[in-house]
Structure 1
Amino acid sequence: MRALAWGAVVAITLGLAGPALAQERPDDPPYEQDLMRLSEILGALHYLRPLCGAPDGTLWRDEMQALIEAEVQDEGRRRRFVERFNQGYRGYSSVYRRCTQAAQAALDRYVEEGSALIRNVTTRYNR
């Protein structure tokens, strides 16, 4: 797995992972669920960070694109990554219209979880 360029924020913690999208395939790498979760976190960050005043622009969408380019070779898997990103984005855009204490707390947790996922995957599976 290629290390992602994360700037200062490399992390997040989302509570949206749904069992319906967590279907493993026999040819998936052993870190697939971690990458799916990371995709979801990136989607949430893409919505929440600008909502809470961060000047991120397309940073998180660009990171998602870099993840897809590094990890995905087939269309079905690409669609699963994009679905998880969109799930993370929609999950928060349907609830938050302004930055609240709860939204900021979610961002803080997501930063921790995202960092842990990246550390785990790159430590265990980096070639």
Structure 2
Amino acid sequence: MSDTDRSLLDTLRALEVELHHPGVRCSAERLSQLLHPDFHEVGRSGRQYDRDTIIRWLADDHEPPKIVPDEFRIAPLAPDAALLTYRSAHRQEDGSLAHHTLRSSLWLKTAEGWQMRYHQGTAAAQAW
């Protein structure tokens, strides 16, 4: 991996993980900065969500699950676009992992900075 790709991976991984942090999830202002105006999501359940719905839901979610992400990969698509893929699971009270999910996010570099344009979560066929 080139230094440029590594830097991009580090940047987008940090932004993606920021969305997992309770302090950010409770801030509609920061969510508005991170999510592109045309943001769209297909959730793990197969349901589709628009930006306003996600911002409202995340801002109201005061006890988010403990997300455990890993295996981040980056695919630069253009100087201002990249696909970030990774796996995630929810840490349960007993320490076990559940809801294993394969995730992909399309990030666009805009005048506002890097913003997530699209996100999809797909239930993993097996736990890891």
Q: TM-score range by the shorter chain?
A: under 0.3
TM-score by length of 1: 0.27
TM-score by length of 2: 0.26
Higher relative contact order by CA 8 Å / sep ≥ 6: 1 or 2?
Answer: 1
Higher helix share: 1
Higher strand share: 2
